[in-house]
A and B are shown apart, each in its own frame.
Chain A
Amino acid sequence: MSSLLEIENARVCFKVRSGLFSGAGIIDAVSGVSLKIEEGKTYGIVGESGSGKSTLARAVAGLHHASEGSIRYRGQELRNLPEREFRKLRREIVMMFQDPIGSLSPRLSIRSLITEPFRIQGMSDWDLDAEAKRLLKMVGLPEEFASRYPYQISGGQARRVGVARALALDPKLLIADEPTAGLDVSIQGEMLNLLARLQDELGLAIIIITHNLNVVRHITDHVGIMYLGKLVEEGPTEKVFATPQHPYTLALLAANPEPDPDARLMRIELLGEPPSLLNRPSGCEFHTRCPFVQSRCESDVPSWHSDTDHGSHRCHFPENWVGKQIV
């Protein structure tokens, strides 16, 4: 069976001016990413700021144009799809944006906000009041919320409205950009439980973009780790967490302080800061920050190793440090 979404070697680039008088440069925010998302499954895309994870998601949703590669949804190529065609697909591929309150128009009531998708898709003849009620109930908000405005609700509630709006038209693929950023831990769980429940009920496939590995561990089936616009590791969530193959994955796992003062994690500390996309490092692009760097890493580009036991990765020397206790 073919996958719901297949991304092959996608590249998204932006023109930038590096200085007032210097010419334009081109950065590859997403630089050759391939992945597959199966129906009804959750895929987590993890990476730090600037790793290209949001750009990739926006390319899938048709908000950025991929310059190379292919993005196929149920076999249909999305890359050069004209906007008019894409609009029809937005009933099936929906996006939940990062800033929960900022993504809701302050002038519209919650009722108008969550029924807006029906109007946009020319379904105004539907019973919108009933739909609004159904959607609020689905995300666990009281009916009275329909007449409220975004400034009258809390951040956690605004997220729920975001979910209701995204799921209004019964989509097949939900792209959630940092669904828990800025939420308190006590509410974060609620949000993730809601997504998990709706996934079971509606058979949704979900792409979750996040930098929080704790979130990924609990709700995703597959995970891809991005660094400088490329996947450095990919595989079933449990395997990636149990036996990370790329030092960057290990560093992300280690940089997740546990709420226990005695948990002395194996700390691997990354050196310095992520390099600029305008000036990509040679060889393995992670070598400037890798604690296990060897001479070969500076010159040779590591290929994409696929390994059925562990998932795939992009590292010359995974066996060098896997399982090693690092202090």
Chain B
Amino acid sequence: MAGVILDVRNLSVSYDTPRGPLKALRNISMQVPEKKIVGIVGESGCGKSTLILAIIQLMAPNANVTSGEVLFKDNDLLNHDLKQMQALLGVEISMVFQDPMQTHNPVLTVGRQMIDIQYRDKLSYSEKRQRAADMLALVGIPDAEARLNQYPFEFSGGMRQRIAIAMALMAKPSLLIADEPTTALDATLEVQIIKRLRELRDEIDCSILFISHHLGVIAELCDEVVVMYAGEVVEAGNVRDVFHAPSHPYTKALLECDPGHIKEKTRNLPTIPGEIPDLVELPEGCVFAERCSKIHDACSARPEFQVVTESHAAACHLNNGELVK
């Protein structure tokens, strides 16, 4: 398909545990279109991190892919060996991790690290250094040339995260994966980073896969959103459609729980009662049924992904839409 940079099809991943296989991801399908920002949202334990680790093939030794494919520009990454992956990572696919305080080597200067990662390029030292300085300037670090000589501890958290973004974008990748890049930052810096990411997408023409549990950030930044719950995609589509007309009770509940949504002062905030199901012994039928306020007879069968609108689909029996192919 043209225009899709990353196409995850029917991906299932399980972890071997002493109790049996823990089915962390089950039949995940999602796409990242070219030059779009796609957000993955879900609570702890919903499989967000497993999904991105499966995409970049950095899975834990006890993880097994039991079905599916991960197509990046029409090549299945699951069939790539280590060498082929290494040729892709950092060039075509880059990643920004969650904790900006620990992503850099503390004993090397920022400049040295930014020059080192250009080892593939046949450029002179001064050209590489210039490029590093340009990248730092691009992410909004003032006085970039001089700051290349500084060590990571001399930068604040927000700046370190921007350096991490600069390093990830150095090779002008087609896909940037950002795993909660703003969680460790203060609100005012978060806003700066989000704005910068959107501008960089336009300048570099890359797609961004953005993982977050913060609904506000997703609404602000992303074009499309994928909502995950307990290892499944429960709803996906255009951000506006999903946030304005959530069609899965979990998405609805999640939006209601966000105190940013509630304008009136209240001492009784909404919650989602119950806990996520055990992923070793999965319940039959809908995974959300146990916590759902709209549970009915049909929920004992597994819901299929159904079309809600042209750009929006959800896995809930209440929708009665056409099945997504």
| Residues of A bordering B, CB below 8 Å | 48-49, 154-155, 184-190, 192-193, 196, 211, 213-215, 217-219, 237-238, 251-252, 254-263, 267, 269-270, 272-274
- Complex contacts, B275 vs chain A, CB 8 Å: 154
- Complex contacts, A213 vs chain B, CB 8 Å: 187
Decide if B259 touches A252 in the complex (CB within 8 Å): no
Please tell me if B34 contacts chain A, counting CB pairs below 8 Å: no
Pick the contact of B258 from A196, A251, A254, A259 — CB < 8 Å?
Answer: A259
- Complex contacts, A273 vs chain B, CB 8 Å: 156, 158-159, 189
Within B201-247, the residues touching A (CB, 8 Å) are: 213-220, 239-240, 243-244
B218 CB → nearest A CB, Å: 8
Decide if B271 touches A257 in the complex (CB within 8 Å): no
Please tell me if B280 contacts chain A, counting CB pairs below 8 Å: no
The contact sample of 5 A-B pairs, CB cut-off 8 A, is A186-B257, A189-B259, A218-B266, A260-B219, A261-B239
- Shortest Cβ distance from B42 into A: residue: A184
Decide if A261 touches B240 in the complex (CB within 8 Å): yes
B264 CB → nearest A CB, Å: 9
A-B CB contacts (within 8 Å), total count:
117
Decide if B269 touches A257 in the complex (CB within 8 Å): no
What per-residue 1/0 map shows which CB atoms of B261-275 lie under 8 Å from chain A?
110011111111001
Decide if A263 touches B259 in the complex (CB within 8 Å): no
Given A49-B157, A193-B268, A262-B240, CB of A252 within 8 Å of CB of B188? yes
Could you say which of B187, B218, B267, B268 has the most chain A C-beta atoms within 10 Å of its C-beta? B187
Q: A211-B187, A257-B260, A269-B192 are in contact. List 16 more A-B contacts (CB 8 A).
A: A48-B187, A185-B43, A185-B258, A186-B43, A186-B272, A189-B259, A193-B271, A217-B265, A257-B194, A257-B216, A257-B217, A259-B219, A259-B258, A259-B260, A273-B159, A274-B156
- Shortest Cβ distance from B259 into A: residue: A214
DSSP majority for the B interface? Answer: helix
Decide if A218 touches B240 in the complex (CB within 8 Å): no
Decide if B269 touches A189 in the complex (CB within 8 Å): yes
- Complex contacts, A155 vs chain B, CB 8 Å: 44
Q: How far is the CA of A159 from the CA of B43 in the complex (A)?
A: 17
- Complex contacts, A154 vs chain B, CB 8 Å: 275
Please tell me if B190 contacts chain A, counting CB pairs below 8 Å: yes
Given A196-B267, A218-B265, CB of A189 within 8 Å of CB of B188? no
Please tell me if B298 contacts chain A, counting CB pairs below 8 Å: no
- Shortest Cβ distance from A271 into B: residue: B192
Could you say which of B186, B218, B261, B272 has the most chain A C-beta atoms within 10 Å of its C-beta? B186
| Residues of B bordering A, CB below 8 Å | 43-44, 142, 156-159, 186-192, 194-195, 213-220, 239-240, 243-244, 253-255, 257-262, 265-272, 275
Could you say which of A154, A196, A259, A272 has the most chain B C-beta atoms within 10 Å of its C-beta? A259
A163 CB → nearest B CB, Å: 16
Decide if B186 touches A49 in the complex (CB within 8 Å): yes
Decide if A190 touches B267 in the complex (CB within 8 Å): no
Given A219-B267, A261-B239, CB of A269 within 8 Å of CB of B187? no
- Complex contacts, B255 vs chain A, CB 8 Å: 259
- Shortest Cβ distance from B264 into A: residue: A218
Could you say which of A188, A189, A269 has the most chain B C-beta atoms within 10 Å of its C-beta? A189
- Complex contacts, A255 vs chain B, CB 8 Å: 187-188, 190-191
A268 CB → nearest B CB, Å: 9
The 4 A-B pairs of least Cβ separation, nearest first, read A257-B216, A189-B269, A259-B215, A214-B259
Q: How far is the CA of A262 from the CA of B260 in the complex (A)?
A: 14
Given A211-B187, A215-B259, A252-B188, CB of A187 within 8 Å of CB of B265? no
- Complex contacts, B188 vs chain A, CB 8 Å: 48, 251-252, 255, 269-270
Decide if B186 touches A211 in the complex (CB within 8 Å): yes
- Complex contacts, B195 vs chain A, CB 8 Å: 269
Decide if B239 touches A185 in the complex (CB within 8 Å): no
Q: How far is the CA of A52 from the CA of B266 in the complex (A)?
A: 28
Decide if A188 touches B217 in the complex (CB within 8 Å): no
B4 CB → nearest A CB, Å: 22
Pick the contact of B269 from A192, A211, A251, A261 — CB < 8 Å?
Answer: A192
